[in-house]
Structure 1
Amino acid sequence: MTGRGRGRGRAAALAVGLGLCAMIAAPPAWTAEAPGAIARRAAEQLDLAARAMARADGARDRVAALTGTVRAYEAGLSALRAGIRQASVRLRQIDSELEARRDETGQLLAALQVMAREPGTALLLHPAGPLGTARAGMMIAEVAPALAAQAATLRAALDEMATLKVLQASAQSTLTEGLHGVQQARLALAQAVSERTDLPRRMTEDTERMQQLINSAETLQGFADSLTGLPGQETDLPDFAAGRGALALPVAGRVLRGFGEADAAGIRRPGLIVAAAPGALVTTPWPATIRYVGPLLDYANVIILEPGEGYLLVLAGLGAVYGEAGLVVPAGAPLGLMPGADQGISAAVQESVDDPPVETLYMELRDDQTPQDPADWFALDEE
């Protein structure tokens, strides 16, 4: 190539560099700290849960210890899934941004290669003579820092992609271990509940009468009202009204539909629909007597609690259920699990990358057969 041709090539490289300045004006704010920090916190939570599991065998109240262990696993797994999903979203975002700038990135690399091949003094020489050389020098002074900045931005994006992929692999390995751990904790909890003999029994329902009510039930509300009419026994439970506004949801989740809110089919129900993770633990928010537990209509498993005289708390849509009618359970006692607890490990890991599935718990509170808005009783801002 002649000196004139080389000069034109150098000038073209500088022109490309100037064209890239628009890209540099607003570089993307890429950072891997958010999903990484989430994953680290989740791993710490799961480690604490594993330690709690090891201590549960020797605990005085094994049911309470295992209940706390399952809750700890659920919190850690939820956080870890969030970290994995954020990492996946960020990877797709970076890949999309790089794909959209494919041509600009190619021009950047070409300009950098030209500048790397040519010594600084050669770049300053211009075939147009001293005036062209002076102009070329001004262009280099303006473009070189911009090219370096854009190259650094590109390198940071590629480094972040590599970091996120390593994070994903590590987090999925931790997730697999956590899922094994929570399954073991759930099995141990179910066994501990079945072996428990220290709970008081306040009442024993008439089995024949109960079966008649089940067979004749047409609605969940009608069945709950019929339970109110059955004779019971006085209990020394704390005043349920004292917990108004501060009760924790029976399951870790979020409210999908409020009291009386129409669903997609236009149906309004006098209760809440709460979205929860598959297999999530359901506990009693207040000391209560179990009035009914078992399948009912098309609600899968149902548990009806009596937390105070005249009050009934209806929980419908559970998978596994614990306990039996007549037992008095303390606050925070395990009542059962949401459906999906027995899904395979590989499926659960894949769901953490995709949109996570949810199960729904229907919750209804009644006072002397009158539906109450649970939002007045439960702290719904807590997930």
Structure 2
Amino acid sequence: MRIRPVLISVLIWSTPVNAQTNPSMAALEAAEMLEQASIALTEADSARDRVKALTETLQAYEAGLTAMRDGLRRAALREAQLTAELQVREQEVAQLLGVLQTIETTAPPVLMLHPSGPLGAARTGMMLSEVTPGLNTQAQDLAADLQEVQTLRQLQQNAANTLTKGLTGVQDARTKLSEAIADRTDLPRRFVEDPVRTAILISSTETLDGFASGLSEISDGEIADTNADIADQKGHIALPTKGVILHRSGETDAAGVTRAGLVLGTRPRALVTSPTAATIRYRGPLLDLGNLVILEPQSGLLFVFSGLQEVYGNTGEVIPEGTPVGLMPGETPGIGAIMSTSGDGTGTDRSETLYIEVREDNSPVDPELWFRTDKDG
């Protein structure tokens, strides 16, 4: 009875578990996403609409890095789980190998002998025939676990090069996007901002309410009317960036501050886009809100996004849905941070905060009346 070759062949030919449940597949797919983003970045310069192409490229990089971070985290957890299980099963494994080795090295004539005679030998043979499949199953399970550990470790070792390219690519995409937006001249404008009037308005107001009510005063001339209407999108508009809700409208934060808007936790340097077509009514610093952008999707309705590090576009421009309006502050985590912790899956890597306020006829309303918040990113 020769079983050891079966174990050897299992160790050689065993494959990882199903792709849908294997954490390594998530990281491998993320690497493919980053590769596709790299290709898109090289093609974006020749695109007819560079801003749109670069926006999609940057979002692809962000999605790829997020998926890589999650895949590596899951891979690390899975490797730790398997390693712990194998350590617990170490004695069991040693006994299994001992049994297999004994069966393999015992001379066939001895295997035929039994104190109870031929009947006992027959019974023993029957027992062995029942035990052998179980031993093979254990050997196959062990081989699969060992192979998966090797795959996970190899994946994490190879991830450094992929992450280096991805982090370089996302930075290049941000730089090119900023340049493309600065060079853009084809957007319609409802008005031209008067910087002197804007400065006077900022200095004379102490609240967002006061500033918002005076927005009509910052233009150099009349503000063209608009017939834009997004009423049919109410309650279904996507958030301007992916994140987790930290505070909803009317909730008090740790500092004891209660605001009318909601606070969204985002990853550092996340791209913020206009969720609908809109007019940029204001962009820049204001009061204690930091850099913000105020969008007007339709007459009497304002979306306020504050907490940005960089703001894009020009006041008075009418921008399409999905147009970048800014970048969140912070530093993109380096390779070491991504590979060592890879986040814990609870949103703790969303270290930056975007404040979102919606105003109807210059009165704040719950942003969740307009935005879809059932799915956090």
Bucket of the pairwise TM-score, normalised by the shorter protein: 0.7 to 0.9
Distance 1:235 1:167, change over 3 A: farther
* Alignment counterpart, residue 145 of structure 2, candidates 157, 162, 180: 157
* Alignment counterpart, residue 371 of structure 2, candidates 354, 358, 378: 378
Aligned to 2:17: 31
Q: Residue 148 of structure 1: CA displacement?
A: 1.6
The amino acid across from 1:361 in the alignment is L
Aligned to 2:66: 78
Unaligned ranges ≥5, structure 1 = 1-29
Q: How far apart in 1 are the matches of 2:106 and 2:257?
A: 74
Distance 1:89 1:222, change over 3 A: farther
Q: Superposition pairs for residues 1-383 of structure 1, below 5 Å?
A: 31=17, 33=19, 34-126=22-114, 133=121, 136-215=124-203, 218-220=206-208, 223-227=211-215, 233-236=223-226, 238-264=228-254, 267-340=257-330, 342-343=331-332, 345-347=334-336, 349-350=338-339, 353-355=342-344, 357-358=349-350, 359-382=352-375, 383=377
Q: How far apart in 1 are the matches of 2:340 and 2:217?
A: 45
Q: How far apart in 2 are the matches of 1:166 and 1:221?
A: 56
Distance 1:115 1:223, change over 3 A: farther
Classify the secondary structure of the residue corresponding to 1:353. coil
Is 1:32–1:163's contact at 8 Å kept on the other side of the alignment?
no
Classify the secondary structure of the residue corresponding to 1:360. strand
The percent identity for this pair of structures is 49
Q: TM-score, normalised by structure 2?
A: 0.81
Measured against aligned partners, the alpha-carbon deviations of 1:284-334 in whole angstroms (never above 9, x if no partner) come to 112222222223344432111122222111101112221233333222211
Q: How far apart in 2 are the matches of 1:120 and 1:373?
A: 82
Q: Residue 283 of structure 1: CA displacement?
A: 0.9
Aligned to 2:3: none
The amino acid across from 2:349 in the alignment is P
The amino acid across from 1:31 in the alignment is V
Q: Residue 351 of structure 1: CA displacement?
A: 6.3
Aligned to 1:24: none
Q: How far apart in 1 are the matches of 2:248 and 2:104?
A: 64
Q: Residue 85 of structure 1: CA displacement?
A: 2.0
Is 1:228–1:310's contact at 8 Å kept on the other side of the alignment?
no
Classify the secondary structure of the residue corresponding to 1:316. strand
Q: Residue 168 of structure 1: CA displacement?
A: 2.5
Q: TM-score, normalised by structure 1?
A: 0.80
The size of the alignment, in residue pairs, is: 353
Is 1:32–1:160's contact at 8 Å kept on the other side of the alignment?
no
Is 1:176–1:349's contact at 8 Å kept on the other side of the alignment?
no
Q: How far apart in 2 are the matches of 1:273 and 1:85?
A: 26
Measured against aligned partners, the alpha-carbon deviations of 1:222-273 in whole angstroms (never above 9, x if no partner) come to 5445547867613335213243233222113343433334445564432222
Distance 1:303 1:142, change over 3 A: same
Q: How far apart in 2 are the matches of 1:306 and 1:50?
A: 34
Is 1:243–1:377's contact at 8 Å kept on the other side of the alignment?
yes
Is 1:301–1:321's contact at 8 Å kept on the other side of the alignment?
yes
Is 1:124–1:136's contact at 8 Å kept on the other side of the alignment?
no
Q: Residue 150 of structure 1: CA displacement?
A: 0.7
The amino acid across from 2:296 in the alignment is E
The amino acid across from 1:63 in the alignment is V
Q: Residue 58 of structure 1: CA displacement?
A: 1.9
Measured against aligned partners, the alpha-carbon deviations of 1:132-170 in whole angstroms (never above 9, x if no partner) come to 655544442332221221111111100111112222333
Measured against aligned partners, the alpha-carbon deviations of 1:75-99 in whole angstroms (never above 9, x if no partner) come to 2222232222222221111112112
